[in-house]
Structure 1
Amino acid sequence: MKAGAANGATANGTTATAAGAASTAVAERESAPTGAAPETAPGYRPRHTLPLRVEAVRQLSRRRTLVVYGILAALPFILIAAFAIGGDPDERGGNGRISLIDTATASGLNFAMACVFVSAGFLLVVPVALFCGDTVASEASWSSLRYLLASPVPRSRLLLSKLTVALAFSAAAMILLPLVGLLAGTAAYGWGGLELPTGGSLDPGTALVRLSIVVAFVFVSQLVTAGLAFWLSTVTDAPLGAVGGAVGLTIVGNVLDAVTALGDWRQFLPAHWQFAWADALQPQLEWGGMARGAAVSTAYALVLFALAFRHFRAKDVVS
């Protein structure tokens, strides 16, 4: 009897101890700050997930990337063939106005500037929209987005990696076209200074700096398209919808800029400043138009990128 009583007392004591420990754990959990980070697996570092090189290799191995770069690299040779068929610009006559096309065959630098001139309005919009609009939506269309998040890759890290790679590939597209144009133009028309449409010329060293400024401004002006495409990529699961929507809205901006009835309101449109880089083709470099254009484009882009991160953070990912 005494042994049974002792065993019962021990069991009751053990139960009481377990209940006390459980109550203590609950109390500690309730008293812990709500913002405390949950425990993670040993060695897990959110910043080390989805490295940029992995995303870059994935994007570079895709066929559409190679096709876009191939088209941009082929354009200068198409223009050279067109000039060869059509003859020298001086032989065709004109209306007395001199443009970059009229001076394209003067030197390799002039030809590179002409390549930027004919493509900045629309052609360079397409790769930016493609790289930034296809990056997230394509993962959703392949039903692989939820597996990336389950890796686990934090949502902000996933978006940041994809946006960084997309902007890098877009910048590479901006550089590829004038670079190939410079090499092909130099081989076809020789090396020399830059003849300005307004009269005068720049020495090759100064002209190279001006060309770099032009390319940098074109990239900054395309950040609005990048922001539109990236935001739409987080909204829809259809890559074509994100890319086409960004291109379409960019065209709408160009149309609105052509409506002179808007007056000074057009200055708030990114499209109004897309050719402000022409100020770099003056004997004295003018920064006013490019500075205002860069400010407008950057402001729109930051808002659109913020909207993309905000929407994706709360999005129910089922794809």
Structure 2
Amino acid sequence: MAKVKYYYDAETLSYRKIKRKKRTTFKYATVFLLAAALFGFLSFAIASNYIESPKERQLARELQNMQLQYELLNKRMDDAIAALENVEERDNAIYRLYFEANPIPEEQRRAGFGGINRYKKFEGFDNSQLISESNKRLDILEKAIVVQSKSLDEIAKLAADKEKFLEAIPAIQPVNNVDLTRMASGYGYRTDPFTKIRKFHFGMDFTAPRGTPIYATGNGIVKRADNSSTGYGKHIRIDHGFGYMSLYAHLYKYNVKVNQRVKRGDLIGFVGSTGRSEAPHLHYEVFKDGERINPINFYYGNLSPQEFDILLKKASLENQSLD
């Protein structure tokens, strides 16, 4: 029950009731309600900064999870980059060096992307820098992997070419040591057996009985098997590719035909004494890019170091050739 309020009337010397007008009551009520509403709004605004709603808590957890995932992604990229750098180092220092290929420059392996900003779509959000940097690192890593993949493709091709090269070059002695009578003459100045004049001998002479097997010294294609070249008599020429060719002269007979593909160690003919020859022997020559070179450098395929040393000493003697 509301309290009744009085006031002292000096004229009547008595107390009278205070009568509140309705307008005043409404005014006070309105002020009270406005003050209460303002207080409630301020309280809510302040509280909202400190108290999270369920939706906000969910979004906060999702943001934390995203940050964790990006941190894990960056860690995995660190591991991938370290592994890739190891492959790149071996690629430049071992593989490409072995196959005589130029190393790939670091700036080419780690080149960025010019032109427009590829990461503009990530701007304006929380953790934009983290997202942009992660995507940038991933793009550079992907490009480096593509560069390395192409390099390994090139190395694989070089390796295949190297294998073909090693199989092709003349790398064995054309006559087995067990079949040799002696190594008669080497590459260099020798005495001509017919004119007795000192002249340059462009091959090596292997003395052996007539009919002794002669073997291809490397993989290749038979380009000639005839007796139409002056002085060589019946002879064979094998094109090994890579600029190399071998010649086998003064044969008794052939065991191959023109355009036949042969492999190192295949039987191609037999020792004879046809053409300009003093006695049965094999005259053997090696050509590189059309120039005749010393065959002594190409016997590492089937001679031991001791056998090669003996052959080298005999080949260096300036004696009389057999053709």
Indicate the structure with greater strand content.
2
Bigger relative contact order (CA 8 A; separation at least 6): 1
The structure with the largest helix share of the pair is 1
TM over 0.5: no
TM bin (shorter chain)? under 0.3
Tell me the TM-score normalized by structure 1.
0.28
TM-score (norm 2): 0.27
